[in-house]
Structure formats: C-alpha cells, structure tokens
Structure 1
C-alpha cells in the first residue's frame, strides 16, 4: 500500500509512505518527506514541496492507494491550504481521500518515542494519560487528552494553557507555556517542547490504524472537514449605511 500524507496545521509538510498492511511495522518505508520550519508560508511552499516527492506526478499520483490530510486543529489560512491541495489532488488523480486529526499524529509520535537512561530505552515516554498541545496563537493552545496508548480521550479544544492540569504535556504548545503548565501540576518534557505535527508522523499514525483494521475503510479515518475551532477573522461586510 502507498499513501501520500499532507499536514499544514502548523508547518507545511508532506510525505509518501509505503507498507504492507499485514506487517506494517517491518515493511513501512518512508519514500520521501519534506517539512518547512516556517509556520506562515504554507501556500507558497506546499505545491513545490509535494511535487518534489514524486518523480513523475502523472504516473505516481494514480499509483497511490490513498491521500490522507491532517484536519487540524490549526489556524484558518494554513490549514485550509493543505486540505484544499489534498482535495484537488484526490479529485485530479482519482485517489481516495481521508482525514486524520493532526493532534493524533503528535500523540502517536509520543507513543512511539521511548524514554532513555544512560543511552538505553527503559520505558515509554508517556506512562499515563497525557496531553498534546500546539500553538494556537493569541496566548492559547490547541490541545487534546490521550491514554498512555495514544487513544483519544478528550478534545480537541482551544483555550489558555491554564485549562490543562496535572498531566504530562507534549508539543510546541507545552514549550511556549511551560511556566503556566508547571504551576498547574503539569510535567513538560523538554525533548518534546518544540515538536509540531507533521505529515510524516500523520502517515505513521495512519499506517498503524490501517494495519490494525486490515483496510483503509475500517481504519476509523475521518472526512476532510477542517477543525478550525474558531471562527474566521474575515467577516462578510454588512450593508452600507445610507447617508442622510
């Protein structure tokens, strides 16, 4: 199976992964991957970035089994650029399209990362329920709560970091508000304090779901409705007032 993943909930990113659903752990291969560090130029860099992953988009696009796009939560402009591109490519190539919450990708990355002691993996990074948080700007975070096995328990939400209490917190949102979270009894892992969702991790989370279900259709993937969690700042202007 071969999938293209796109995520623009934070940075602009895309990846191509291939795997055998019957043995996804050992057969998973990252064919190509790109991600920017800039969180404000998605529209300019995404199309060239996706094109760079495919030697011949005309033939390699139809060779995909699915396109999976991160549905956020994320800022309006950046998030919609990734979803719009995914929808366009899926329609043009005739490839099935699915969505996956971007915070799930970050949670999967936490689950996959061990804790080391003296250079040796000794335990999972998250040993109990945990929260992943990303920067929502306006002094707020996007966040969701997960079990130690990276199963979604609550969320997604947007709000001040002070709303999160008494758990391990991972992600760039945790790094930005480490002091506030620490005052609330939270533990912020310094190694995960600047990590953003990416298409590569989105793909790895999708691979695990597909492998567990044995098919794309049963993997519990979403449609591509974006999770903005806020209304757009852009408003339709009201009618002109009549001059007296």
Structure 2
C-alpha cells in the first residue's frame, strides 16, 4: 500500500510517499516557509507523487500531523487530509507533530530521554518529553520556556523551539529542527504494522487561536 504523509504544523511544508509493504520512503520533499502553507502543500504533494510515478488514486491511506501548531498553518494539512480521504475513499489518519519530530530524532540516534520543542510564538513553546525509544512520556504542552526549565533540565532537546531558547535548552541539537514527512510516514507505518489504531486527523489545539472575532461592535444607526 502507498501511504502519503504530510504536515503543515511547523514552518516546514513537508510531504512523503511510503510503501508499507517494503517500509521504504519512495519520495520526500520539504519546503521551509511559515507563511505559505496553503500555497505550497498541494504542489509539494504533486511533486512527491510525480517522483514516484503514481496518482492520488493509487494511494491506500493518508496521514497528517495534527499539531500542536499555529492555527492557520495547521488547518491546511488537516483539511487537505480530510478532503483527500473522503474524495479517494481511503483512511485519513492523524499523528501528533511532536511525535513525528521525535521519531526523526530517534532515527538519528539521539540519546534519550529527550525533549522536542517547537515554536508556539507568543514567547512560548509546544513541547513533549520522549524516552530512549522515541515514545512520548510527557506532554504535549504549551508553556513559556522559563516555566519548564527545571522540568527539562539536563535533557537533550530537538526542534526549532529549543534552538530559540538556549538558556532553557542548553543541549539543543541543530537537527531535526522541523517536521519531516518521511519520519512521519515511517512512524505511521510502524504503528499500523503493530496493529495500533491511529487517530483521526483532528487538530491538537493547546490554546486559543491568535485571531479572534472582536467582542464589541460599534452600533451603526440608520441615517
């Protein structure tokens, strides 16, 4: 079965195609642009499908990162996964974005336990702690770095959020900084092979969106 994976919860717009029979990633592409998720996702998906030489109708499943992440970017991936699943009549799955980054770190043989931290803006980070096997043991949560300094003290850290706050994450590694759809696809395939039930592609929100509807409207009287 061909599995398409993508994620838009971090500044990376990333997509990959994996063959679940062989466990091999057949194609992967990454674009780093925090403001153009909506413009870049489908062209990136078309790029990896074209590299493999297949169409969307040959896919057997799709998986996307569910965040946590900024509201607008995150919704692009989730809406695309739900639409593809419905239109193609195939399963659409969701996996926590931090789990995907952790799996990439595990594949790179990062010593555990370790922490994954991504940029949550507002001077905060989305974070979670993982054991030596890349299994989440705490989180995901959103906090100011200084508020979790004692809880993550001494841990190796990965993710762009960790790189932004070296005082809290002094053992931050430069890679992986963002999500990789290749690692996400490998993690999804491993969980499916183990008989695990993957979640639906629903957003993992840890706080309210930055943009909100104004609470008070000015009253306009007819002339």
Same-fold status (TM-score > 0.5): yes
Answer yes or no: is 1:38 the counterpart of 2:33: yes
CA distance in 1, matches of 2:124, 2:41: 26
**8 Å contact from structure 2 (residues 113, 156) kept in 1:** yes
**Aligned with 2:209 (options 232, 235, 242):** 232
Q: Is residue 2:166 matched to residue 1:178?
A: yes
Question: What is the number of equivalent residue pairs in this alignment?
Answer: 215
Cα distance in 1 for partners of 2:216, 2:126 equals 35
CA separation in 1, counterparts of 2:217 and 2:126? Answer: 37
Structure 1 residue runs of 4 or more that deviate by more than 6 Å after TM superposition = none
**Is 2:30–2:180's contact at 8 Å kept on the other side of the alignment?**
yes
Structure 1: gaps of 5 or more residues: 21-26, 115-124, 214-218
Match of 1:168 among 156, 174, 188: 156
Given that 1:73 and 1:228 are in contact with CA atoms closer than 8 Å, whether structure 2 keeps it comes out as yes
Deviations 1:162-208 (A, max 9, x none): 214322211111111112333xxxx223x43x611121111111122
**3-state SS in 2 of match to 1:236:** coil
Higher deviation after alignment, 2-11 or 156-165:
156-165
Q: 1:94 to 1:130 in 2, by over 3 A?
A: same
Shift of 1:212: 2.3
Give the distance between the partners of 1:55 and 1:197, measured in 2 at CA: 22
Change (3 A) 1:169 1:48: same
| Candidates 104, 108, 112, aligned match of 2:103 | 108
1:12 is matched with 13
Kindly indicate whether the alpha-carbon contact (under 8 Å) linking 1:62 and 1:94 is maintained by their aligned counterparts in 2.
no
Question: 1:46-61 alignment to 2 at 5 Å?
Answer: 46-55=41-50, 60-61=55-56
Given the alignment, which residue of 200, 203, 210 partners 2:185? 203
CA RMSD of aligned residues (A): 2.2
* Residue number in structure 2 paired with 1:149: 133
SS at match of 2:201: coil
Shift of 1:66: 0.8
Q: Deviations over 1:48-81 (max 9, x none)?
A: 111222249xx73232221001000100010001
